[in-house]
Structure 1
Amino acid sequence: MTLRAGTPAQESDLIDVEALVRAYYELHPDVSVPEQRVVFGTSGHRGSSFDTAFNEDHIAATTQAIVEYRTAQGVTGPLFIGRDTHGLSRPAETTALEVLVANDVRVLTDAYDGYTPTPAVSHAILTYNRAGHEDQADGIVVTPSHNPPRDGGFKYNPPHGGPADSDATSWIARRANEIIEGGLRDVKRAEPSAVEAYDFLGAYVDDLANIIDMDAIRDSKIRIGADPLGGASLAYWQAIRDRYGLNLEVVNERIDPTWKFMTLDWDEKIRMDPSSASAMASVVARRADYDILTGNDADADRHGIVTPDAGLMNPNHYLAVAIQYLYANRPGWRSDAAIGKTLVSSTMIDRVAESLGRRLWEVPVGFKWFVPGLVDGSVAFGGEESAGASFLRFDGTVWTTDKDGIILALLASEILAKTGKSPSEHYAALTEQFGAPAYERVDAAATKDQKARLGKLDGDAIAAEELAGEPITAKLSAAPGNGAAIGGLKVVSENAWFAARPSGTEDVYKIYAESFKGEEHLREVQEEARRIVDAALG
């Protein structure tokens, strides 16, 4: 934590938006430079035009590659496209539309030329594909999610509505880089006039009554505050308030691509992370004014839950409460529907799952792993420790296959309205029943070679037999739920665990650790984690 974390942004922290957009058009990448190539992470291609990492050439080539990919996959239906409030999102959307229209793709954009949350695009794709059309729809979301204002992002959602898997993104990225290397000769472009309007907001908001008990929230008259953090959910929260008659205040209605109204994150950067106490400092300061106060990031795929008694809830804590509440209050869900979690999420979820008699489905990091289960109803809830989750409708059918911060925020109000207790009060009860875990993620230095080896490490390479005084019960390099490689390592004992994964953007590896024996034991686990991993890496 740095000295200015949690304090208001200053003029020197703000980007020059005009210069950012100018760089988008004027700078041209050299794909022989690794940092200037198209690279899809867990949520699409991200970068800044200032670094020649997110420029017009990247988006033109990537869109052309998506057109070729969807054609090869037999996807001939409409493509839904939405953008968030980042400064680079509008230029990138315009570029994409020019390429899509020139390739005769039927494109649907926001009917009001507004901003579109990621879950609204996923919802639109699934709605179309459930309607019995002979063709299948897919989508693009122009967003770097919670990244700083200087960044842009571009992600593809195929017909299942969720994040594209690595087979798709690898193909798209490889082809996009080939197109750039070829001087963009294979890119078709035209004026983006032949696009259709789609009411993302109306379709999404009207459907909320099929997944959240909006009547209970309205009738309870609880005081709700919703902060879009300058993101795409602004108009959605206004519409939700008006459509359902909620006692809800949108506490911040400002949209500004510099995000000058934000407080700085832990590293003194402006970042719209609703799970960060530093980024949410100005929101948390108003916790006494509301019964439930929530935040969303720029594309509303993440949530932050603030209560008067606890302030900002740890995402792991809220996921555990949400799971316990939902599986006890959704009789329309399949009795064998599993609980989905990523392997770096809290073991509290494991203990809640066991108490519910539900199967736990533990998968690698990345929301894409939950998609098949959400589609067929075999997984009713999928959640990540980074404050991203989605779940099924009342009747057990799919809602979104991408993260939805809006429904998770509304669920907090439903929990209070139906039980009379805040989510943080419910979590306190869970700790009385199962113990109070200490959880933290830290970084450790690693070279590129060490990161590459860590990503391929096998659990059998770990020689240690104990973890902070307890016998090791599992050494995992594949996720228990689906057997997929985790791109790292997880070591488990009875009351603690750690996971180590290489960073995709920095020369560090991330250590996630948790202990049910307190903060001091957690520190021991973290120290041993470093020793165990360093020994394995040589």
Structure 2
Amino acid sequence: MSDLREQAAEWLAQDPDPETRAEVQALLDAGDDRALADRFGARLEFGTAGLRGELGAGPNRMNRVTVMRAAAGLAARLPRGGRVIVGFDARHGSRRFAQDTAAVLAGAGLRPEVFAEPVPTPVLAHFTRAFEDVVAGVMVTASHNPPRDNGYKVYWGDGAQIVPPQDAEISAAIDAVGRVDRLPLGEGWPVHDDASLYLDAVAGLDIGDARDIQVVYTPLHGVGRDVLLRAFARAGFPEPVVVPEQAEPDPDFPTVAFPNPEEPGALDLALALAAERGADLVIANDPDADRCSVAVPAPGGWRALTGDEIGGLLAEHVLRHTSGDDRLVATTIVSSSLLGAIAAAHGVRFAESLTGFKWIMKAGGPGDRLVFGYEEAIGYSVGDGRGVLVNDKDGIGAALAVAALAAEAKRDGRTLPDLLDDQARRYGLHATSQLSVRVEDLSLIAGAMARLRADPPAELGGRAVESFDDLSRGDGGLPPTDGLRFRLAGGARVVVRPSGTEPKLKCYLEVVLPIEGDGAGDGAGGTGGDVEAARTRAAAELEALRDGMSAALALG
């Protein structure tokens, strides 16, 4: 343990933060070698999502030393004199981390600019791509992680997240950084005090002219409220009713167990307010407003739409309001296959990518104009005739588009569930679900993946496995990744991959069922075809797939 204590002492000597210095000194004084090993025995890895981790001292935590090293590594990969835009959310430490980033970048000969106040991630991403002389952007955020976390997200000059080999090159440059107290630091950089550039763009999206819709909105204690309200006002919508208990930014997220709109209970306050007000729609952003969740009235209460359901609805809405054979819609290999069917019906191009928006934005080829991209984890990027507005997830642009779509349906005497039924009749019911297995020992995940590769199951959930792709070999024409894809009889599919952020093995399940009955496929809102019966059958088949995969994984 002497090596760990030496590392801790070296950290103490360079750390500019009195709080984390006191944390390390207390551990040294107490002789808490286990806690020291947790902080100094590993380090946060810089990858295609940048950095993300728990706040605290040491290289395995998010802190000022970690951030300054990341900024110095990034600076080493950027052209001297380049302009870099820095934004931050309202989490603990975010403002300080943004200021430290700017100081290091300025000291390295770059031209940083920092937002004066917390901003949504899509505002930073849009700003980064809006100017030719911007070479990179940094967003200090941990998105929907727990309150104890923070993170560091890097965008290139095109406003998209970095992808290999950029991440490996920056990581290597970080490794070469010496003590941060010896880094040259600059001062006096410009600041931005509003989000007008983004607001002008998002309010100009071609989303139709229907506006009569009453929305209840929650930012989940994050930074989305002010920008979303201004965007709705500019676009001509009635002002959404904001959940008062969750309206103000609060890094402790006091009203939710986990600040993610997909988590059970996260929307309870919004749903209760919507029922009280008789609202048409509930919209929620996650804390940095790059994701968008939607709930609608349903028999006996409200129901949240799945990420795939929202994705299918938004895709057709965007395609109805755009034109051109060069249009591209894209999603990931773990999202519903419905988007491919929609693209074929509309005569536009379709592409699948690896998981994550960094890959969605690279989908397609020369001559493709990406007008819509989405991933099942409630992430969407909407566009118009010019293409997508933001080269990343955009929870505010998606909220505007959902509100416009719901207003169009309301004007026609219909609802979003009615539109989902239309899609089921037209394309077949594409029902999706997940199986996530959390483990304490990461080697269990590696073992399960190895077993499935060596001996793929012949059937899952009573369906024969018709083909098997080992995505680590680049099967399917995608960059190699640790994943497996099983195509089953009847159009069903299972994709298995380790989580990139948690100790989980995740399985993405899909079944596709035709809608039987007179009127199926008419797409005009008719009552033909028993969609509810198909949903009941799909739920049972997804449960059978879940049981089959659980047995195949053999993880207890």
Shared fold (TM-score greater than 0.5)?
Answer: yes
Counterpart contact for 2:370–2:387, Cα < 8 Å: no
**2:406 corresponds to which residue?**
416
**1:18 corresponds to which residue?**
none
Determine what percentage of the aligned residue pairs are the same residue: 22
SS at match of 2:130: helix
Aligned amino acid, residue 261 of structure 2: P
Q: What is the rounded CA distance, in whole Å, between the counterparts of 1:46 and 1:25 in structure 2?
A: 21
SS at match of 2:293: strand
When residues 199 and 227 of structure 1 are mapped into structure 2, their CA distance, relative to the original with a 3 A threshold, is same
Match of 2:483 among 484, 488, 493: 488
**2:322 corresponds to which residue?**
330
Question: Is the deviation greater in 135-144 or in 461-470?
Answer: 461-470
SS at match of 1:346: coil
**1:109 corresponds to which residue?**
114
Q: What is the rounded CA distance, in whole Å, between the counterparts of 1:101 and 1:203 in structure 2?
A: 24
SS at match of 1:344: coil
Task: Output the TM-score relative to the length of structure 2.
Answer: 0.80
Note the C-alpha offset of 1:521: 2.1
When residues 206 and 361 of structure 1 are mapped into structure 2, their CA distance, relative to the original with a 3 A threshold, is same
Unmatched runs of 5 consecutive residues or more in structure 1: 1-20, 130-134, 265-270
When residues 257 and 57 of structure 1 are mapped into structure 2, their CA distance, relative to the original with a 3 A threshold, is same
Deviations 1:179-202 (A, max 9, x none): 3xx433663224x3x211335511
When residues 462 and 371 of structure 1 are mapped into structure 2, their CA distance, relative to the original with a 3 A threshold, is same
Counterpart contact for 1:468–1:525, Cα < 8 Å: yes
Aligned amino acid, residue 60 of structure 1: M
Task: Output the TM-score relative to the length of structure 1.
Answer: 0.82
**2:497 corresponds to which residue?**
501
Correspondence 1:228 to 2:222: no
**1:208 corresponds to which residue?**
202
Counterpart contact for 2:436–2:504, Cα < 8 Å: no
Unmatched runs of 5 consecutive residues or more in structure 2: 1-16, 25-34, 513-536
Correspondence 1:70 to 2:64: no
**1:365 corresponds to which residue?**
355
Note the C-alpha offset of 1:480: 7.1
Match of 2:265 among 275, 278, 285: 278
**2:459 corresponds to which residue?**
466
Note the C-alpha offset of 1:510: 1.4
Aligned length: 487
Deviations 1:154-184 (A, max 9, x none): 11101121111132222223332443xx433
Q: What is the rounded CA distance, in whole Å, between the counterparts of 1:175 and 1:345 in structure 2?
A: 34
Correspondence 1:349 to 2:339: yes
**1:243 corresponds to which residue?**
234
When residues 25 and 89 of structure 1 are mapped into structure 2, their CA distance, relative to the original with a 3 A threshold, is farther
- Structure number with greater Rg is 2
SS at match of 2:542: helix
Note the C-alpha offset of 1:48: 1.6
Note the C-alpha offset of 1:348: 3.0
When residues 283 and 380 of structure 1 are mapped into structure 2, their CA distance, relative to the original with a 3 A threshold, is same
Q: What RMSD in Å do the two structures reach over aligned CA positions?
A: 2.9
Aligned amino acid, residue 201 of structure 1: A
Aligned amino acid, residue 234 of structure 1: R
Q: What is the rounded CA distance, in whole Å, between the counterparts of 2:500 and 2:321 in structure 1?
A: 39
Counterpart contact for 2:330–2:373, Cα < 8 Å: yes
When residues 92 and 35 of structure 1 are mapped into structure 2, their CA distance, relative to the original with a 3 A threshold, is farther
Counterpart contact for 1:81–1:109, Cα < 8 Å: yes
Correspondence 1:529 to 2:510: no
**1:37 corresponds to which residue?**
43
SS at match of 2:468: strand
Aligned amino acid, residue 192 of structure 2: Y
When residues 344 and 453 of structure 1 are mapped into structure 2, their CA distance, relative to the original with a 3 A threshold, is same
**2:274 corresponds to which residue?**
287
Note the C-alpha offset of 1:24: 4.8
Aligned amino acid, residue 547 of structure 2: E
When residues 361 and 453 of structure 1 are mapped into structure 2, their CA distance, relative to the original with a 3 A threshold, is farther
Q: What is the rounded CA distance, in whole Å, between the counterparts of 1:87 and 1:398 in structure 2?
A: 31
**Larger RCO: 1 or 2 (CA < 8 Å, sep 6+):** 1
Note the C-alpha offset of 1:85: 1.1
Counterpart contact for 2:336–2:432, Cα < 8 Å: no
Aligned amino acid, residue 530 of structure 1: S
Correspondence 1:304 to 2:312: no
